[in-house]
């Protein structure tokens, strides 16, 4: 029968730097005002695999990309998550090939399970930090019938490093963080619905980002050991704003996966990135998109007007002091 140590070796070969296990008992329910996606997650591992005895928690670290003013960006998390998801599925297949039952799933509440397994600690920014990798990790779960040695840490308290720190609360541009590890999801830029125009006050806060918001991670001392990396050239090419605003987005699918690399999702934010980067050279592309249905048409019009009337503002970069070179 596979041991946790053997599984660690298999996981390491697939890029997972930390592996922990907990029992298959349910986690608590999420707070009632959690993001709809979080509310839809399953609290009971046995609803995924009735014979479950353990849950494996896997952490794949990543290096955040160095932001470049005037360029489109994606949080490196999305690229790492795409790879981590596929490799966790492969690991589950490898475990299953030994005769055990193992199901890789994205349907469980991974953060409370990771804390319970002793993989990391929850921070005031609502993210789990893992050892020297901080919160710059993609977390994955595999439910198995293997009786693995299970940790059961108390998940109640925040990471001790948050005791005298409020940097993430102070850096959040929308005051979404409540200070106790939870957030007012309606205020978080990352959680805004994609099918409606972004509230006008938030449009300059997205900077060049096509997906997500990185501010409450970039400022966090728990990530102090994590160094930024240059984007791979092929990804930088796929993020070219002129290309994206012309509708050429498919080169991003291998990097982000089909769910994240959806045309309108990317174009909606690319239109804002043009104004936030001061890219007047993209006015022809923006003007061509003004007639598109909301939210793309609205974002293109806002960007074109912002660029024409000189209302462009660079967003404050909360991580500037923490860069590696």
> Can you give the binding site for ligand SF4, defined by CB under 6 A?
123-125, 159, 161-162, 165-168, 172, 174, 176-177, 183, 188-190, 213, 215-216, 219-222
Shorter beta-carbon distance to ligand SF4: residue 69 or 316: 316
Residue 307 CB, shortest distance to ligand SF4, in Å, is: 24
Gap between the terminal Cα atoms of the chain = 47
Shorter beta-carbon distance to ligand SF4: residue 84 or 177: 177
Residue 264 CB, shortest distance to ligand SF4, in Å, is: 21
Residue 319 CB, shortest distance to ligand SF4, in Å, is: 11
CA 319 to chain CA centroid, Å, is 17
Shorter beta-carbon distance to ligand SF4: residue 121 or 279: 121
Q: 219 near 134, Cβ under 8 Å?
A: no
| 286: its two tokens | 């923006």
Which class for 310: exposed (0-12), middle (13-18), buried (19 or more C-beta within 10 A)? Answer: exposed
Residue 187 CB, shortest distance to ligand SF4, in Å, is: 7
Shorter beta-carbon distance to ligand SF4: residue 161 or 243: 161
Residue 61 CB, shortest distance to ligand SF4, in Å, is: 17
Please give the Cα distance from 7 to 142 (Å, whole number).
11
Residue with tokens 């199901």: 103
Strands 128-129 and 137-144, sheet pairing: unpaired
Which element (helix H / strand E) includes 157?
none
157 Cβ contact partners less than 8 Å away, ≥ 6 residues apart: none
φ, ψ for residue 159 (rounded to 5)? -50, 135
Shorter beta-carbon distance to ligand SF4: residue 65 or 249: 65
Shorter beta-carbon distance to ligand SF4: residue 58 or 216: 216
Residue 295 CB, shortest distance to ligand SF4, in Å, is: 18
């Amino acid at each position: 029968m596979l041991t946790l140590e053997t599984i660690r070796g298999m996981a390491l070969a697939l890029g997972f730097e930390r592996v922990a296990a907990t029992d298959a008992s349910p986690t608590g329910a999420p707070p009632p005002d959690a993001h709809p996606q979080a509310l839809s997650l399953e609290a009971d591992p046995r609803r995924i695999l009735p014979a479950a005895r353990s849950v494996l928690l896997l952490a794949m670290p990543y290096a955040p990309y160095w932001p470049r003013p005037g360029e489109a960006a994606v949080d490196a998390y999305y690229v790492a998550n795409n790879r981590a998801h596929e490799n966790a599925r492969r690991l589950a297949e490898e475990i299953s090939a030994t005769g055990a039952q193992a199901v890789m799933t994205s349907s469980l509440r991974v953060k409370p399970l990771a804390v319970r397994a002793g993989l990391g600690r929850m921070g005031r920014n609502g993210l789990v930090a893992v050892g020297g990798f901080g919160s710059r990790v993609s977390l994955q779960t595999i439910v198995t019938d293997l009786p693995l040695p299970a940790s059961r840490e108390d998940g109640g308290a925040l990471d001790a490093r948050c005791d005298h720190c409020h940097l993430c609360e102070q850096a959040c541009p929308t005051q979404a963080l409540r200070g106790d590890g939870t957030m007012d999801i309606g205020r978080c830029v990352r959680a805004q619905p994609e099918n409606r125009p972004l509230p006008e006050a938030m449009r300059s806060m997205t900077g060049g980002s096509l997906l997500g918001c990185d501010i409450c991670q970039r400022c966090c001392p728990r990530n102090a050991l994590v160094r930024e990396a240059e984007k791979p050239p092929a990804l930088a090419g796929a993020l070219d704003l002129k290309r994206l605003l012309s509708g050429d987005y498919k080169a991003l699918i291998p990097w982000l996966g089909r769910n994240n690399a959806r045309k309108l999702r990317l174009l909606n934010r690319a239109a804002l990135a043009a104004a936030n980067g001061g890219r007047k050279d993209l006015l022809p592309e923006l003007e061509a998109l003004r007639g598109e249905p909301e939210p793309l048409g609205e974002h293109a019009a806002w960007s074109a007007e912002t660029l024409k009337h000189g209302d462009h503002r660079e967003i404050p970069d909360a991580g500037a002091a923490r860069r590696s070179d």
